[in-house]
C-alpha cells in the first residue's frame, strides 16, 4: 500500500507520511531507495524534515489544547 503511494506521489507522499506517522512509511521508502526508485540522500532529508516538523506541530497542538498535569 505505501509503496504504490510513494511510487505515485514520490517525495511528497514521504513528507506527508512522516508528518503523520513516520516509521511505517520509512520502511517502504527505504526499500524503494534500495531498489533505486528513490534517492537515499533525498529520502533521508525529507524524512528528517517531515518528522521534525510533525513533532513540532504536535507539540504546539498539545501545548495549546492539552490538559496540564
Per-residue pLDDT tens for 22-46?
Answer: 788 888 889 989 999 899 999 999 9
Number of domains in the chain: 1
Residue 60's domain spans which residues? 2-65
- Residue 44 and residue 32: Cα distance in Å, rounded? 12
**Residue whose cell numbers read 504546539:** 60
The pLDDT, as a whole number, for residue 1 is 65
Digit-coded pLDDT (tens) for 12-25: 988 998 988 778 88
pTM exceeds 0.85, yes or no: no
Q: How many CB atoms lie within 10 A of CB 32?
A: 20
Q: Provide the pLDDT confidence category of residue 68 given band limits of 50, 70 and 90.
A: confident
Amino acid at each position: 500500500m505505501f509503496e504504490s503511494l510513494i511510487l505515485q506521489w514520490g517525495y511528497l507522499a514521504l513528507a506527508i507520511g512522516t508528518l503523520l506517522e513516520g516509521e511505517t512509511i520509512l520502511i517502504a521508502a527505504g526499500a524503494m531507495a534500495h531498489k533505486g526508485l528513490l534517492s537515499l540522500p533525498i529520502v533521508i532529508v525529507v524524512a528528517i524534515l517531515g518528522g521534525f516538523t510533525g513533532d513540532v506541530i504536535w507539540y504546539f497542538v498539545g501545548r495549546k489544547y492539552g490538559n496540564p498535569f
